[in-house]
Structure 1
Amino acid sequence: MLKIKIEKLLILILSFSSLFSLEINPFISYIYDSDTDLYVNENQNLHRNSFGFNIYHSQNNLYLESQLSYHLFTGINERPNSFNYHPGIGYIENNPGLDSNQFNFFLASLTIEYSYEKVMFFLGFNSQTWGPGFNKIILSDKSPQFFNFGYDWNLSNNFSYTHLYGRLESQIEDSSYIEIYNSDSSRIPTLQRSINAHKINYLLSDQVTISLYEMIIYGGNRSFEPYYFLPLIPFLPIQTFLGDLDNDLIGISIELELQNNSLYTSLVIDEWTPPDTFKKEHKNWFIYQFGIDIETNLFNEKGQFIFEYLHSDNRVYRHKFAINDFYSYSYPLGFWAGPHSSQLFFFFEQRIGKYDLTIEYSDSKRGESKYGYNNNFSQRYLNGFEQKKIYKVGLSYNYNNQILLDFSYSIIDWENAGFDPLNVNINTIDVVKNNIQISINYLFKEYKL
């Protein structure tokens, strides 16, 4: 009898261990830039060190992915300039023991997914990305990770619905807590800001996918608005019912797949008055994107070519109530360049033997982020702009999926570097940078628990 109970206990322990088995992959990384485009300063070299580990679990209906890492920047003690497509950084610190030209931060991310019949529930601390292309305009990874949860519901073979809630960082001081946190002026409590979003994906055919999106930002005295958790109901009539206080954006994307090649376009509408669409003084608060992704085959190896053009009106994202701006940590949630901007982007990647060759060209421009209400019209780029052109070629080598080496050379032609879309009177400079970047990533042996 005792033997049977012990056997059952062992089976239960083994089953439990198998259910929650984890795969852990430690890593260490070093990146050197001789004159990085992350900062305005000329001849700004930068050393980036990081180490951490990735965690994975996948079994039956449960999937888990996480990363925990520490990052140290040496060369300058400032948060990087935002005028680039790289993911933004939240709060940084110059902790005791660091030099005056250093800062550090921790990075954590988590994705948990559980599938049950036709519904997949998700919970995480990550960057949700929606929409096609390299430079996404619906939801991108420009802003740092944020807490989110929701579900994907497959209603049929060609129709699915996704509903999302996320907690954002407004960086607007909450004065009601001044007396509690007044001992340290460098740390301030901030007002609540949240996002609810939903999308519909419709597979029109094997080649054509149409997606509809709606995002709404709200905050202040609300961290959760229960009305916005109702499935399938548009947010626009609800926010009107609630007093027209919130920031509602809608979007659409169309993707055409042709033999491993794709054509795609996206549109986000912040405000729109249809009768004035083609007038000089219009209310087309639009962001649009056109792109093509082509699979190449050179030297009997597969490659990729991407072309994109993006354009945003000068009045998008900002709301008449600042708490509802389409931002988190001062980074836009959609197109990384934000309002009043454009980008022409080319990217080519080709496998050549044991090496990967990349060639990139980007021409990005942005102007003043203008408050667009009360019929406040202005000529594009009238009050100044900054423009950055990047010509980049790189070569990478992957040794045994354990050591990844990258080398690249970039020419950065940056006009009016340091331009601030919210303060056009700030001093700027014209700079041409020649950047050599060397990157070394080492993946340690994986461990299973």
Structure 2
Amino acid sequence: MKILFLLCYFLNIFLASNIDFIFSKKEQLKNEIKSIGDSKITLGRSFFPYTDSSIEDFSKINLVKNNKNFKLSPIFAIRYSSSGFEIFEENSPSTVLWISPGLEMNYIKPITFGFFDTGINFQAWTRFHKHSAYGFNGIAPSLDQVMFKFNPDHSFEFYSNSKQPSNGIDFDEGQASISLNSNFFNFIFGKFKTNIGPFHSGNLSISYSAPAFPQFQLRTKSKKLNFSFIVGELQSDMSINIDGSEIIRKRYIVNHRIDFMLKDNLKIGFYEQVISGDNLSLSYFLPIIPYWSVQHANRDKDNLQMGFDLELLSNNNKFIFSLIVDEWAPFDTFNKNHHNWFGSQIGFSRILSQRGIFKFEYTMIEPQVYVHDIPINQAFNGDYPIGFWSMGDSEELYFGFTYFFDNYFELDISLRNTNLGTPYYGDSPNIEVAQIKNRFFAGIQLSKKINTKIGSVSYLLKMNHLKTSNIYENENFVDYQISLLYNINY
């Protein structure tokens, strides 16, 4: 009996963790504060969805009783904005009421053989939001606009005008996944958001600001090295006509990445990423093959991006750097007629005790990054770049301060100044260059979490000042927002 007990205890060390598919900037900051305070980088925390979640979430009610493996929880949010959340360029500013009911399901089952736990679990997760927004100064928004084009916090694939009342829109959002998880590997298939990189304002390769997309992920994990492989399908919004029928063209993304822990406080990650339209070469399904060579074998028709990022912790500070190179030709790097396009980021964070953090981030992207001479190969998911939200020919300065007074009350202050130009391919634009757009955002947010019989309910108060140029008809306005959130973080 003692031997059996010791064996079960030993095997529990290898019990699998779960995957957290709900991206939260607040949790991202809490993890960063802890990491800087401990002067130790958590290897998997620059890659979302996080695969090291093992804490049971008691903040929401479970509609299914007497089943510890299966959870079914409601979702609800009601929000008001005096300026319309920047949902549409043509309708901002305008008062908007935004309502979001929904449902989330999460099933986790350890895979065991008798008393033997394999250290692997099966997880099935799905989440659905039904959104409705009303107001827009009594005018039905036109259906040819991009939602949240100049608001980096949201992105959606589709919307339609509501029938009643007529001055509203309906849109929805569905995500799901099935996965096999262990402390050493993850196989994940589903449709969900992915965010890769150490930056809070957005990342260059794949960022949370793009909509969820169907994808397969393979990840291997060890103490000093992580490897990841992604194959996904992006929306192209492009079609061809075959025998009178309109066929939507396919767009694919593949990414493989390796992260090294050089020291407890120093990490570096390298990646290759390819966006390819219509037909994806089977060579890209080999996780460890150099994409640079495959792209050459495909006659340089695909859109190849390469890059790296670096994280360093020192004396309550964090220093980060990221670089992406679009279509790198090494021997032409310093030639005048090169086709090497760059995007770069630099950032700094400093913690104030274990409750507060100050952040500075700067992003600069050349016009040719994310676009391509073959339009189907552009690095976009629908109308949104798969990487940093402002697209090519842009730069952004971001300052942020967050203080957690306790687990229930927090203060966020942020400043964001973004210049947006005209992305184009080649050495000079072959399209009409629009005037530079500028968006200056200054915001303060107070959030309070209250425990209730059905779980935690969050109240948010926001005041934002926006000063823009060549974006909205009213270029200078103040936005007041109030939100009540349950099992949703926006």
State the distance in 2 between where 1:122 and 1:53 align.
21
Question: Residue in 2 aligned with 1:22?
Answer: 70
Secondary structure at 1:233 match in 2:
coil
Question: Residue in 1 aligned with 2:482?
Answer: 438
CA gap of 1:111–1:257, structure 2 versus 1, over 3 A, is farther
Aligned-pair distance for 1:74? 1.2
2:320 is equivalent to residue 264 of structure 1: yes
Count of aligned positions? 399
State the distance in 2 between where 1:140 and 1:90 align.
16
Aligned-pair distance for 1:229? 0.8
Matches within 5 A, 1:139-288: 139-154=206-221, 156-176=222-242, 178-179=244-245, 189-220=247-278, 222=279, 224-258=280-314, 261-272=317-328, 283-288=339-344
2:363 is equivalent to residue 310 of structure 1: yes
2:189 is equivalent to residue 87 of structure 1: no
- Whether the aligned pair in 2 keeps the contact of 1:35 and 1:434 (CA below 8 Å) is yes
2:468 is equivalent to residue 414 of structure 1: yes
Aligned-pair distance for 1:158? 1.3
Secondary structure at 2:475 match in 1:
strand
State the distance in 2 between where 1:383 and 1:70 align.
36
Question: Residue in 1 aligned with 2:134?
Answer: 74
CA gap of 1:18–1:256, structure 2 versus 1, over 3 A, is farther
CA gap of 1:74–1:377, structure 2 versus 1, over 3 A, is closer
- Listed one character per residue, the Cα deviations across residues 79-103 of structure 1 (whole Å, up to 9, x for unaligned) are 42412212311011225x3333211
State the distance in 1 between where 2:190 and 2:421 align.
34
2:187 is equivalent to residue 131 of structure 1: no
CA gap of 1:141–1:346, structure 2 versus 1, over 3 A, is same
Matches within 5 A, 1:44-123: 44-60=94-110, 61-76=121-136, 77-78=141-142, 79-95=146-162, 97-115=163-181, 118-123=184-189
State the distance in 1 between where 2:161 and 2:434 align.
36
Secondary structure at 1:48 match in 2:
strand
State the distance in 2 between where 1:92 and 1:130 align.
27
CA gap of 1:369–1:158, structure 2 versus 1, over 3 A, is same
- Whether the aligned pair in 1 keeps the contact of 2:283 and 2:289 (CA below 8 Å) is no
5+ residue gaps, structure 1, are 1-16, 180-187, 419-428, 445-449
Q: Report the more deviating stretch, 63-72 or 145-154.
A: 63-72
Aligned-pair distance for 1:311? 0.4
Secondary structure at 2:161 match in 1:
coil
Q: Report the more deviating stretch, 33-42 or 246-255.
A: 33-42
Question: Residue in 2 aligned with 1:422?
Answer: none
Question: Residue in 2 aligned with 1:365?
Answer: 419
Q: Which AA in structure 1 matches 2:220?
A: W
- Listed one character per residue, the Cα deviations across residues 2-38 of structure 1 (whole Å, up to 9, x for unaligned) are xxxxxxxxxxxxxxx9999311221210111101333
Secondary structure at 2:284 match in 1:
helix
State the distance in 2 between where 1:305 and 1:22 align.
39
- Whether the aligned pair in 1 keeps the contact of 2:128 and 2:174 (CA below 8 Å) is yes
- Whether the aligned pair in 1 keeps the contact of 2:148 and 2:154 (CA below 8 Å) is no
- Whether the aligned pair in 2 keeps the contact of 1:415 and 1:430 (CA below 8 Å) is no
- Whether the aligned pair in 2 keeps the contact of 1:390 and 1:412 (CA below 8 Å) is yes
Q: Report the more deviating stretch, 309-318 or 233-242.
A: 233-242
- Whether the aligned pair in 1 keeps the contact of 2:305 and 2:328 (CA below 8 Å) is no
- Whether the aligned pair in 1 keeps the contact of 2:231 and 2:254 (CA below 8 Å) is yes
2:340 is equivalent to residue 291 of structure 1: no
CA gap of 1:282–1:344, structure 2 versus 1, over 3 A, is farther
Q: Which AA in structure 2 matches 1:74?
A: Y
Aligned-pair distance for 1:387? 0.3
Of 428, 432, 441, the match for 1:376: 428
CA gap of 1:308–1:389, structure 2 versus 1, over 3 A, is same
Question: Residue in 2 aligned with 1:335?
Answer: 388
Question: Residue in 2 aligned with 1:388?
Answer: 439
CA gap of 1:365–1:28, structure 2 versus 1, over 3 A, is same
State the distance in 2 between where 1:306 and 1:74 align.
35
Aligned-pair distance for 1:308? 0.5
- Whether the aligned pair in 2 keeps the contact of 1:19 and 1:59 (CA below 8 Å) is no
Aligned-pair distance for 1:284? 4.2
State the distance in 1 between where 2:298 and 2:334 align.
32
State the distance in 2 between where 1:177 and 1:139 align.
36
State the distance in 2 between where 1:111 and 1:260 align.
37
State the distance in 2 between where 1:200 and 1:98 align.
51
Aligned-pair distance for 1:212? 0.5
State the distance in 2 between where 1:296 and 1:112 align.
39
State the distance in 2 between where 1:42 and 1:153 align.
45
Q: Which AA in structure 2 matches 1:350?
A: Y
CA gap of 1:229–1:42, structure 2 versus 1, over 3 A, is closer
- Whether the aligned pair in 2 keeps the contact of 1:42 and 1:433 (CA below 8 Å) is no
Secondary structure at 1:170 match in 2:
coil
**What is the RMSD of the two structures over their aligned residues, measured on CA atoms?**
2.6
Aligned-pair distance for 1:403? 1.6
State the distance in 2 between where 1:48 and 1:39 align.
13
- Listed one character per residue, the Cα deviations across residues 304-353 of structure 1 (whole Å, up to 9, x for unaligned) are 22210000001111111101000011210001100000110011111236
State the distance in 2 between where 1:308 and 1:219 align.
33
5+ residue gaps, structure 2, are 1-64, 111-120
State the distance in 2 between where 1:55 and 1:234 align.
38
Question: Residue in 1 aligned with 2:15?
Answer: none
Aligned-pair distance for 1:405? 0.5
TM-score (norm 1): 0.82
State the distance in 2 between where 1:259 and 1:58 align.
39
Q: Which AA in structure 2 matches 1:289?
A: Q
Q: Report the more deviating stretch, 61-70 or 409-418.
A: 61-70
